[in-house]
Structure 1
């Protein structure tokens, strides 16, 4: 293995979870002196127009047609790479991908987003670049599967079992957890952070990811439930939704129990001072909360991977899920009681793996060390002659 290999991490701007995972892995590589690490939105590079259209559809469907997105997600969840749809999705833009790879010359590829054109190229050519995949959710979708993947890094034992049911060999699966950035693995001085953010030591705070809910009408309804039925104050994060932030500031400018913020790079600090996170069920956000032992209520999860995450983690009693205002109030009241907070904290801690990025980088580098040289290889390690499609056992 080269002392400073070229690392390509394939990410995406669909939400920010894929990018956050890529950044966490990049941090771990750089901490080991490996600096030629490139995080690339590969689909955006090779298909910028189509990428923009599909990203807009994804963001708009979350607000205006969530059930449509959920139907499409569920219809394709059982997809395998040798299905026509799987081959099509993984082959889109592959000629541009080939040029990109020839220019970059990566020594390894890590996917944090399931655009697997580079893997598909390896099936169709003598390409020997080792490929790894880091799943960013607590549920499995068929788009992540590809026979050329050397190893999958997954969030939980239940995902490992799902992959094995899909006939992925057990030795090619590591339950690493989902990587989070180093800031979420560090202890914090709550009193100092309270002062920094202009909050009160004697109050308890709910951190509301308002940008995930999109419109001020729904956010005001949620806040009304919090203020009328609990003693919590609220920190409301509007993200990049400027319209929502201005609307909320107009409505709560003089309300001492509500604090309105826009986009922040200090999510780890705000989580550290909070008693509960009220959010959608993005896999990375949930993992960040678990790393800080912050109880989570998922309110009205979107159909698709978010509903899958919420269902999987509710089943493991690691978070609360509410689909109605009354259920939300019940969950909030439970978290006001110490025994329930302690129980959910135990379950979160059982799932949390704070050094996921470090474990992934260690195993990737170990795999590179053990690989024979390119000159000695005639086939990819996951292939045998005439069996490219069934290297993982896909039927």
Structure 2
């Protein structure tokens, strides 16, 4: 039997962390040629389902009712980092050791969410069989949640984050790898096709400028406001709306579009498991800046318009992408219209795609897997 890999994640704060773990599981299995074991597990789901539900309710409640307070709490990251690294980590480490690590006996443990990372670091010291612990931040930002002296390897999205690990946290350079945020290997393959191919595959019209609007799994980010604003544009658009699991929004927009006489074509979708096809077909992608969503758009060379970022890591992602010229931030729906009007000029659109190139890491999952198989 080859190496045993354990990928620990969370999904209660959005699907991106789990998608990163699934990307690595797939890449590791493929790279290992069937000679290893790889398993994705939820950290809190294993250690404390009650705490998982409490954390979910708290997080969703703060985003809904007190987003600015959540931003202040997030920016007080050293306090939260201390909590996750000491009392809570000690308690969680007991359960993770007994219910997960001693059962699975992993050689490599990879964390794509920070909640249980310090607990895993504490548990590592208790294990008779040592394992290699890997921190994989899934955003374009580093905070203390992701750092611990017992972590063996850090895999980050960009050299700027590697520099922060060295300068702010004293992490050794040889423990850091800049491979990018892991996206599923299918995104790398999909990126080899041009947009006309994906439009044909999906039965879309090849000519109109195509805008994809998505608010993640929960259909957040003022999507309805954006759709209504774009509907007022004079030149025809192809508008794809993916509402995720937000069925109320899906039905509301579908009914609205069916009653509207328009020069635009509207395509309404709910949860879409093959999202790479729709991102691949789009000429512009209006989204909130989750780390995985942005990495997927970069992989598929689809220019990003960021709208209504959630407080916390999404504000940080937004600042990073704007600094590198790899996205546009629209603070008002009218600014989305203005950007799309500008990108209709082919040279302007091609320039937006070129700006994304330095941050693209479509082969991130394969490169990470190759590294993990060697450690």
Q: Same fold (TM over 0.5)?
A: yes
SS of residue matched to 1:287: helix
Alignment of 1:129-208 (within 5 A): 129-165=131-167, 166-186=169-189, 187-188=192-193, 190-191=195-196, 193-208=198-213
Structure 1: runs of 5+ lacking an equivalent: 368-395
Alignment partner, residue 351 of structure 2 = 343
| Greater mean deviation of Cα atoms: 338-347 or 179-188 | 338-347
Give the corresponding residue for 1:87: 86
Can you give the 5+ residue segments of structure 2 that lack an aligned partner in the other structure? none
Deviations, residues 84-119 of structure 1 (Å, cap 9, x unaligned): 553124224221111121111111101111121121
**Residues 230 and 124 of structure 1: is their aligned pair in 2 closer, same or farther, counting only changes over 3 Å?**
farther
1:200-221 superposed Cα distances (whole Å, 9 cap, x missing partner): 12222110004568479x4332
Comparing 174-183 with 357-366, greater Cα deviation is found at 357-366
Could you say what secondary structure the match of 2:337 adopts? helix
Aligned residue in 1 for 2:64: 63
Q: Which moved more, 1:8-17 or 1:126-135?
A: 126-135
Q: 1:35 to 1:56 in 2, by over 3 A?
A: farther
Match of 2:245 among 235, 240, 243: 240
What's the counterpart of residue 48 of structure 1? 49
Aligned to 2:204, the other structure's residue is in SS state coil
Give the one of 225, 228, 231 matched to 1:227: 231
| Residue in 2 that maps onto 1:22 | 21
CA RMSD of aligned residues (A): 2.2
Provide the secondary structure at the position in 2 that maps to 1:240: coil
Residue 52 of structure 1 aligns to a residue whose secondary structure is helix
CA deviations over 1:316-370 (Å, ceiling 9, x no partner): 0000111123333332233223333222212211111122112212222222xxx
Please say if 1:4 is aligned against 2:2: yes
Q: Is the 8 A contact 2:63 2:310 kept in 1?
A: yes
| Separation (CA, whole Å) in 1 of partners of 2:61 and 2:274 | 26
Partner Cα distance (1:64, 1:53) in 2: 16
CA distance in 2, matches of 1:188, 1:340: 21
Q: Deviation of residue 79 (structure 1)?
A: 5.2
Per mean C-alpha deviation after superposition, the further-off stretch among 192-201 and 283-292 is: 192-201
SS in 2 for 1:228: coil
1:121-136 matches, within 5 Å, as 121-123=123-125, 128-136=130-138
Structure 1 residue aligned with 2:324, among 296, 316, 323? 316
Between the aligned partners of 1:11 and 1:353, the Cα distance in structure 2 is 21
The total of aligned residue pairs comes to 362
Secondary structure (helix, strand or coil) at the match of 2:150 reads coil
* Other structure's SS at 1:302 match: coil
CA contact 1:79–1:143 (8 Å) conserved in 2: no
- Say if 1:121 and 1:127, in contact at 8 Å, map to a contact too: no
Write out per-residue CA displacement over residues 202-255 of structure 1, whole angstroms, 9 at most, x where no aligned residue: 222110004568479x43321232232363321000101111111111111255
* Offset from partner CA, 1:168-219 (integer Å, 9 cap, x none): 1111111101111111111236445434433212222110004568479x43
- 1-side partners of 2:368 and 2:36: how far apart? 16
2:282 is matched with: 274
Kept in 1, the 8 Å contact 2:156–2:178? The answer is yes
TM-score (norm 1): 0.85
- On the 8 A contact 1:80/1:145 being kept in 2, the answer is no
Partners of 1:215 and 1:104 in 2: CA distance: 37
Deviations 1:265-313 (A, max 9, x none): 1211011111011000100010000001000000121111000000011
